[in-house]
């Protein structure tokens, strides 16, 4: 029989780590098509949340990512969770491999759980509206406005260089304005957060792509600050505010399952 036709061995897919003692189950919501039971394996008050799974590399496709995230969201309803990297699978078909991981990395898990206790990740993406932001630039920058005014009504073919020059000036002004808005917004929100991760923007119209680690007790204040910024800047940009998320941006938990 060829390798391709062999049935993969069974292992344990690891979703996250929580602080809990004793048995716990989250229902038949495991990754893949089999609806495996998601449950906890405990060692000295720290529990790995797992399900049975074939030992395969799960493709980072939407259906798989959503299944992984859905489990973490269910866990988060009750616990602070350390999210484990997508497609982490112990190659043991019983609990022994997971218990070895918990024993080996106990201090790391314990420290991280203490650090993340009572906190959550909130995501904020802000995208500028093209027409109003450009109009705002023309109003604000005298040189651009004056040059544009001089070209009004003149033939396009005879003002090619000047129009290119305006385009370059507007692009430079846009970059500057986006950076200013980003800094102003962060100046309001950073003091409310325990930690902030500013991720790369995609596209020139993106003002901010950030994750905020927030104490649960501060969340209403943070919500209020985001709403007030949205009310102030909503004519120029769209705010996409997402929460509650597992702390993906603040916990990069890579577990070595080899040889355990």
Q: What's the CATH code of the domain at 228?
A: 3.30.70
pLDDT in tens, 113-133: 999 999 989 999 999 988 888
Q: Would residue 86 count as lying in a domain?
A: yes
Q: Would residue 11 count as lying in a domain?
A: yes
Q: Say if residue 66 is in the same domain as residue 180.
A: no
Q: What is the pLDDT of residue 157?
A: 67
Cα distance between residue 92 and residue 186, in whole Å: 46
Q: Would residue 256 count as lying in a domain?
A: no
pLDDT in tens, 40-50: 999 999 999 99
Q: Say if residue 154 is in the same domain as residue 211.
A: yes
Q: Say if residue 108 is in the same domain as residue 224.
A: no
120-to-171, 181, 195 alpha-carbon distances in Å: 37, 25, 11
Asked if the model's pLDDT at residue 171 lies above 90, the reply is no
Q: Say if residue 199 is in the same domain as residue 125.
A: yes
Query: Is the full-model pTM beyond 0.85?
Result: no
Q: Would residue 83 count as lying in a domain?
A: yes
Q: Would residue 258 count as lying in a domain?
A: no
Domain boundary pick from 117, 141, 164: 117
Q: Say if residue 234 is in the same domain as residue 147.
A: yes
Query: Which ranges of the chain would DSSP assign to H, the alpha helix?
Result: 62-76, 96-104, 106-116, 130-140, 142-151, 160-189, 219-233
Task: Tell me which residue range forms the domain holding 96.
Answer: 3-117
Number of domains forming the structure of the chain: 2
49 CB-side CA count, 13 A: 32
Q: Would residue 254 count as lying in a domain?
A: no
Q: Say if residue 237 is in the same domain as residue 131.
A: yes
Cα-flanking dihedrals φ and ψ of residue 22, to 5°? 95, 175
Q: Would residue 180 count as lying in a domain?
A: yes
Q: Say if residue 125 is in the same domain as residue 109.
A: no
Domain boundary pick from 117, 145, 171: 117
Q: Say if residue 36 is in the same domain as residue 107.
A: yes
Q: Say if residue 194 is in the same domain as residue 90.
A: no
Q: Say if residue 241 is in the same domain as residue 156.
A: yes
- Whether the upstream peptide bond of residue 228 has omega within 30° of 0, thus cis, is no
Q: Which residue has the tokens 């705010």?
A: 239
Q: Say if residue 157 is in the same domain as residue 178.
A: yes
pLDDT in tens, 6-23: 788 999 999 999 999 999
Domain boundary pick from 117, 139, 167: 117
Q: Would residue 201 count as lying in a domain?
A: yes
Q: Say if residue 127 is in the same domain as residue 111.
A: no
Asked if the model's pLDDT at residue 150 lies above 90, the reply is no
pLDDT in tens, 181-192: 999 999 999 999
Q: At what angle do helices 160-189 and 142-151 cross, to 10 degrees?
A: 150
């Amino acid at each position: 029989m060829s390798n391709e036709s062999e049935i993969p061995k069974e292992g344990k897919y690891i979703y996250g780590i929580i602080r809990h003692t004793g048995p716990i189950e989250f229902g038949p919501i495991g990754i893949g098509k089999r609806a495996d039971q998601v449950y906890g394996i405990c060692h000295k008050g720290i529990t790995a949340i797992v399900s049975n799974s074939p030992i395969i590399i799960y493709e980072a496709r939407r259906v798989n990512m959503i299944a992984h995230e859905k489990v973490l969201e269910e866990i988060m309803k009750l616990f602070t969770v350390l999210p484990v990297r997508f497609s982490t699978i112990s190659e043991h078909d019983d609990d022994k491999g997971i218990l070895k991981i918990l024993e080996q990395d106990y201090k790391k898990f314990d420290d991280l759980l203490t650090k993340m206790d009572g906190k959550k990740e909130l995501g904020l993406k802000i995208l500028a509206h093209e027409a109003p932001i450009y109009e705002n630039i023309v109003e604000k920058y005298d040189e651009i406005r004056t040059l544009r005014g001089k070209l009004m009504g003149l033939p396009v073919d005879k003002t090619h260089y000047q129009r290119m020059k305006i385009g370059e000036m507007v692009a430079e002004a846009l970059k500057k304005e986006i950076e200013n808005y980003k800094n102003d917004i962060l100046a309001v929100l950073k003091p409310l957060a325990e930690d902030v991760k500013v991720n790369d923007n995609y596209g020139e119209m993106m003002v901010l792509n950030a994750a905020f680690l927030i104490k649960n007790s501060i969340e209403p204040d943070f919500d209020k600050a985001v709403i007030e910024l949205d009310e102030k800047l909503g004519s120029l940009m769209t705010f996409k505010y997402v929460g509650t998320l597992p702390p993906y941006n603040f916990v990069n938990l890579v577990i070595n399952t080899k040889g355990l």
